[in-house]
Amino acid sequence: MNWLKEKKLSEKTKQSEWKKVNWRSPSNIALIKYWGKNGKQLPMNPSISFSLSKSYTDTTVYYKKKERQEKEIDFKYLFEAKENPDFSNRINIYLQSLLKDFPFLPYYRLRIESRNSFPHSAGIASSASSMSALALCLCSLERELTGISNQLDFFRKASNVARLGSGSASRSVYGGFNAWGEHSVLKELNNYYAIPLSENIHKIFQNLQDSILIIDKGQKKISSSYGHRLMENHPHRIQRIKEANSHFLQMWEVLKCGGFERFAAIVEAESFAIHNLMESSEPSFSLLKPETYKVISKIESFRNQNKLPLCFTLDAGPNVHLIYPLEIKKEIVNFIESELVEFCSNGFWIDDNMGNGPIRL
Ligand code: DP6
């Protein structure tokens, strides 16, 4: 009998036994990029991102006390209603690594169901939204079982636990702008959990849009984890740490004082920085496609002609994120439809924007 049938049966017969916690958690787009790590998922440099609104993961964790006490973690995992051995494997390793943080795990049977708002084949990394949604569920589960209820600690722990699953996921547990990693500009900044940067953000950045141009829908051939690993002995490692720290400080100031031109220059320099690092790694690799360069060149010409506040950023893949304030949305959508969709895979792009962070469902 599969667990869903088993659950239905048990819900019918012993209604009260299976309980659940569920969270919707967003993806995020980094402006200052995390690229390279130390030790156990600690970033080589500080990063800044903003949480998205329409690209998210919904995760439900069903739990039920085991009748007999066993040492093993008993869980089943369904992604988009199907078993997925690769994800299941990753979650198994992840849950095992969290036994110290959540010592109750072996005492419960867990059934985890997860689905993304964006198509699996959109070439969008889902680790930030999926690992943050799972981390939030685990923290809620802890709260249900132990009654611990400090709101600040809750999100800090969720961010810390999400980081252990995927570094960028640490920045998805809050809405708006978030920063993760030590920097001397603020003592609260640390390598373990992200903090929200919600105060004193200049109005031009308060409603940022992110139109994600899907250049390639395929699964990435090279994982971010592999790219991070190559930074350990990268010939430009020291230089990169200096550059990221300097960009971080400049972005910190720009977000407060305004100035889209300066913002755009930092965001675009960061995008090229990580792709240059990939190309100068040993062994070197590139994730960009000819269409990525064509789209970037179109964006630059359009910006020069129209003097509008827009810029692009790139993640660890060929897709282009177009970032701009809500006020110029109409012009940008026209521009995308008339000049950029032809470079997108099947004309596909995602109309996203800055969001308010995770919600408990
Ligand atoms: C380019 O968070 O996906 O998106 O910690 O190994 O899971 P792991 O890596 P991941 O790396 C994201 C890299 C990036 C930049 C960023 O989001 O800051």
Least confident range from 15-24, 128-137, 180-189: namely: 15-24
pLDDT at residue 68 is higher than 50: yes
Give the 3-state secondary structure of residue 264. helix
Residues with C-beta less than 6 Å from any ligand 1 atom = 30, 33-35, 47, 125, 127, 166-168, 224-225, 228, 274, 315-316
Q: Which residue's CA lies nearest to atom 12 of ligand 1?
A: 168
pLDDT at 123: 67
Q: pLDDT of 40-50, one tens digit each?
A: 999 999 999 99
pLDDT at 117: 95
Grade residue 145 by pLDDT with cuts at 50, 70 and 90. Answer: very high
55: left (phi over 0), alpha (psi -120 to 50) or beta: beta
Q: pLDDT of 254-293, one tens digit each?
A: 999 999 999 999 999 999 999 999 999 999 999 999 999 9
Grade residue 8 by pLDDT with cuts at 50, 70 and 90. Answer: low
The radius of gyration computed from the CA coordinates of the chain, to the nearest angstrom, equals 21
- Rounded to whole angstroms, the Cα distance separating 142 from 127 reads 22
pLDDT at 1: 46
Least confident range from 5-19, 154-168, 198-212: namely: 5-19
- Helix runs in the chain, H state only: 3-13, 85-97, 127-146, 151-165, 224-230, 237-257, 260-279, 290-306, 329-335
108 Cα–ligand 1 center, Å: 31
- Rounded to whole angstroms, the Cα distance separating 118 from 11 reads 30
Q: pTM for the complete prediction? A: 0.94
pLDDT at residue 208 is higher than 70: yes
For the chain, give percent helix, strand, coil, nearest 5.
45, 25, 30
Q: Which residue's CA lies nearest to atom 6 of ligand 1?
A: 225
pLDDT at 15: 46
Q: pLDDT of 288-333, one tens digit each?
A: 999 999 999 999 999 999 999 999 999 999 999 999 999 999 999 9
- Rounded to whole angstroms, the Cα distance separating 187 from 31 reads 21
Please, which residues bridge with residue 324 across strands?
Answer: 209
User: Kind of pairing, strands 108-116 and 74-79?
Assistant: parallel
- Rounded to whole angstroms, the Cα distance separating 205 from 212 reads 18
Grade residue 6 by pLDDT with cuts at 50, 70 and 90. Answer: low
DSSP 336: I
Largest CA distance in the chain: 70
- Rounded to whole angstroms, the Cα distance separating 277 from 42 reads 19
pLDDT at 121: 65
Q: How far is CA 247 from CA 31, 240, 259, in A?
A: 9, 10, 15
Share of the chain above pLDDT 70, in %: 94
Higher pLDDT: 67 or 26? It is: 26
Q: pLDDT of 106-126, one tens digit each?
A: 999 999 999 999 887 666 778
- Helix runs in 85-232, H state only: 85-97, 127-146, 151-165, 224-230
Is the distance from CB of 162 to CB of 135 less than 8 angstroms? yes
54 Cα–ligand 1 center, Å: 19
Q: Relative to the CA of 274, which ligand 1 atom is closest?
A: 1
pLDDT at 119: 80
DSSP 202: -
Give the 3-state secondary structure of residue 34. coil
pLDDT at 151: 80
* Angle of CA points 53, 253, 246, to nearest 5°: 100
100 Cα–ligand 1 center, Å: 24
Q: Relative to the CA of 127, which ligand 1 atom is closest?
A: 3
Residue 221 dihedral angles phi and psi, to the nearest 5°: -80, -30
Higher pLDDT: 57 or 217? It is: 57
123 Cα–ligand 1 center, Å: 14
Grade residue 75 by pLDDT with cuts at 50, 70 and 90. Answer: very high
Give the 3-state secondary structure of residue 211. strand
Grade residue 26 by pLDDT with cuts at 50, 70 and 90. Answer: very high
Residue 77 has, within 13 A of its CA and on its CB side, a CA count of 19
